[in-house]
Structure 1
Amino acid sequence: MFSLCLTVLVSGILCGCTPGTDNDQVEKKKYSIYILGNEHREYIIQTDGFAAGNYKPETDGVKLNTDIIDRDVVIRDGFYYHLNGRNHILSKYVKTAGELKEVGTLEIRNFIVENYYWIARDTLLLTGLDQKTFTNSWYYKISVGDLKLVQSGLLPIPKPGHGFTSTSIGLTTMLDGKLFLGYTYHKQLDASNYTTSDTAYITSLSYPALKTLHTDKDTRSTYPGGDNTIQNYSFNDEAGNFYYMTCPGIALGNRTDLPTGIFRINKGADTLDRNYFFNISAAISNHAYGLWYIGNNKAIIRCERKDLYKDLNDHWDVAHFEFYVVDLLKQTKEKLNLPLDRGTRRECVIAEGDKVYIAVNSKTDGNYIWCYTPSTKSLVKGLQLSGDTDYIYRIDKNF
């Protein structure tokens, strides 16, 4: 189902630990790894490096309560932020040796997070929909140091019409002092099927007044971005130009007649660069999900293989995803020599300096963080996740 059906997700903590024990010592390692184990067990592991080693989540991580936790966490400066849709509490956590420990809370009622953006290091902007109708678009600006609400309100995104019944916000970013939002609309066709508008909307707003400045409508593709608490779909390059991917594949927009594409908003502009459109589906004959910048006008995309899966029911479990390095200016692509990957949407790429780390889930080759060096095109296995690991859900920088 599309993202608004997937984002009613919640988070929480494991059991409490006795204050003053070693289990209360906060871990402050460089990277965070979120693991899905067998029989729906989930874990968080922290590490200072991906180059080598072998971690087992059942011994090297903390086990999470799967009734109240999920992978749509926002991670920064060693803290984990998550909105629990059941009790309407945004919680702030730290990882200790024994648990994910709650250190702050803020009540936010009737709200589904679809996107987040860091306005400043201590200021988080959440955008999303009302939890009842999925038609009203809201924002919450939060000071994360003390977890206090700074500002909130309705966003000037039109409600769905013309037969469409719900909204998805797929992009939230600040460019040159203006807030940009990307969105589209959906409608349910029957109990198990839906469709998406053929139009992607990009609106620029004044900030902080949030008055509409301009709205672009584009029918070359649809569903701009996606739920970025699950997977990344956009970035700024070194020159300040903003790129984003559209996702009309069956796991998001479900408008497979339209191509996955990469679009650009040039630095200082209020509107799309109409002369730029990278047709990914034409290049790879498939759709893609996920876009990660690795520097020097190159990015990594994660592409499905429609010849290897039957339908959405086995889209998650069947190994069929490939990784490509794309040149954004030349609009060329090069496939990375990695095992076929599993899992429909994952946060699985980190670019850092001259290294790119790529998490791959393979039933035949094992679950590894691979280390890619763009300058030499070297690609080697790094850290292995074994033991109870079924999927590497996400890898993140903690700091």
Structure 2
Amino acid sequence: MSLAHRADLIITAVMNLSTKKIAFQFASVILLACLIACQEEQTGTGSGIQKKYSIYILGKDAKEYILETNTLDSGILYPEKTGHEINEKEIDRELIVRDGYYYLLNRKKAVFRKYKVAATELKKLASAPLENFSVDNYYWISKDTLLLTGLNLTDFTQVKYALIKTDDMKVLTIGDLAIPRPSGKYTSVSTGFVERRKKQLFVGYTYHQQLGSYDYTTSDTTYLALFNYPQMTIRRIDKDIRSTYPGGTNMVQPYSFNDEKGNYYFMTCPGIALGNRADRPTGIFRINTGEDVLDKKYFFNISGSVINNHAYGIWYLGGGQAIIRTERKDLFKGLNDHYSAAHFEFYLLDLYAGKVLKKLALPLDKGTRRASIIVSGGIAYISINSTKEGNYIWLYDIKTDSLRKGLQLSGNTDFIMRIDQLKK
């Protein structure tokens, strides 16, 4: 029964009272309350209605929250008041968010779980067994079929995949990909992106060398493996040394996309926060529509441009334009303060011309890797953790090339870890 229908029943009952004046006043109050509730039901500001956006917050006291909201354009939210505090240690920012649901791998319990925000909690809905698996990347084959790629948990040397039906959380298939294991001085491998084109599957990867307990480096090569899909049999492996570490863990930050023409772009991340090969340039590669090899004529050298820095994360705006998140190497001392020091800037690129258009007039951001931008309705919503100005969602109007502050995250907010679109 709708709230409006319930309001009609209440008013009818009250109007049957002997004192008409009192009844009318009481009915008016009830009607007003129900109309407000009806409006909340329609806009999604009330409970029980799927909202449009999700925000993952790290609190000043190390508590973590998930907030859901219908607008990023204005207002102020306090995670301790309207957020859902995450009490379970199995939840972290490496989430896959789609159509109001949250998916996450619990490595210790060897299950891949599906969640939804309930009235007071992030509620477990279902689980799929996934043993000896560490997720690097996800790719939606269809609305309810998810392809996960990653590594074995024992030594991170074998690339694996799992195909999961997310409506009932059933594992359809799981297996190994025929990507050569690391050898010689290299001790591990990582997959940085996955892309399917009809009956072909691209997997970008590279190798790493462990130098110490907390120190590593990366090979100088980007590898592109081509598989038959759905057979998962290998066709060939290509190499490119123009840059290294293609992509990254896309639950944490996006590194690739398709443009309107069907061209596929991906960014490499050799900087110290990912590849730890700062001598190699951050670059953008392209696989042209209808092709199954890298475009050898295309390489957007980000580090060799006016940016003169490394970058992590890319978001497509349409029309050949994209935003990247770049670091200021003069503002941090090393990995110890890379996350806490505000040193990230945002630049607007023309991918077709291979040109840096401008630096966006935003405060310096902090947080090494984040799912920090949503592009929707001609607006790029950019989350900023600013030491000076606080935590805001900024709105970049793509058509008018203008910026303004939107929603503020206050109270116990320390970092905006990620923002996601729940409803498109």
Distance in structure 2 (CA, Å) of the matches to 1:177 and 1:48: 38
1:219 is aligned to 241
How many residues are treated as equivalent by the alignment? 376
Distance in structure 2 (CA, Å) of the matches to 1:365 and 1:311: 24
Hey, which of these two has a bigger chunk of helix by percent? 2
1:393 aligns with 2:395: no
Q: 1:119 aligns with which of 141, 144, 160?
A: 141
Cα deviation for residue 156 of structure 1 reads 1.1
2:172 is aligned to 150
Q: Which amino acid aligns with 1:237?
A: D
Q: 1:162 aligns with which of 179, 184, 187?
A: 184
Post-superposition Cα deviations, 1:294-334, rounded to whole Å, max 9, x if no partner, equal 10000110000000101111000000000001000111221
Q: TM-score scaled by structure 1? A: 0.93
Q: 1:45 aligns with which of 38, 56, 67?
A: 67
Cα deviation for residue 176 of structure 1 reads 3.7
Report percent identity of matched pairs.
Answer: 54
Matches within 5 A, 1:122-271: 122-271=144-293
Distance in structure 2 (CA, Å) of the matches to 1:161 and 1:288: 28
Distance in structure 2 (CA, Å) of the matches to 1:267 and 1:38: 46
Q: 1:335 aligns with which of 328, 352, 359?
A: 359
Aligned-residue RMSD, C-alpha: 1.2
1:103 aligns with 2:95: no
Kept in 2, the 8 Å contact 1:354–1:374? The answer is: yes
1:293 aligns with 2:282: no
Higher deviation after alignment, 61-70 or 323-332: 61-70
Q: Secondary structure at 1:274's aligned position in 2?
A: coil
Q: Which amino acid aligns with 2:340?
A: D
Distance in structure 2 (CA, Å) of the matches to 1:150 and 1:26: 31
Cα deviation for residue 66 of structure 1 reads 5.5
Cα deviation for residue 192 of structure 1 reads 2.5
Kept in 2, the 8 Å contact 1:27–1:97? The answer is: no
Q: 1:68 aligns with which of 69, 90, 93?
A: 90
Distance in structure 2 (CA, Å) of the matches to 1:183 and 1:364: 38
1:352 is aligned to 376
| Misfit runs of 4+, over 4 Å | none
Kept in 2, the 8 Å contact 1:26–1:94? The answer is: no
Q: TM-score scaled by structure 2? A: 0.87
1:377 aligns with 2:398: no
Higher deviation after alignment, 111-120 or 205-214: 205-214
Runs of at least 5 residues in structure 2 that lack an aligned partner in the other structure: 1-46
Q: Secondary structure at 1:39's aligned position in 2?
A: coil
Which structure's relative contact order is higher, taking Cα pairs within 8 Å and 6+ residues apart? 1
Q: Secondary structure at 2:386's aligned position in 1?
A: coil
Cα deviation for residue 175 of structure 1 reads 2.1
Distance in structure 1 (CA, Å) of the matches to 2:293 and 2:226: 8
Kept in 2, the 8 Å contact 1:259–1:287? The answer is: yes
Cα deviation for residue 247 of structure 1 reads 0.3
1:313 aligns with 2:370: no
Distance in structure 2 (CA, Å) of the matches to 1:137 and 1:28: 36
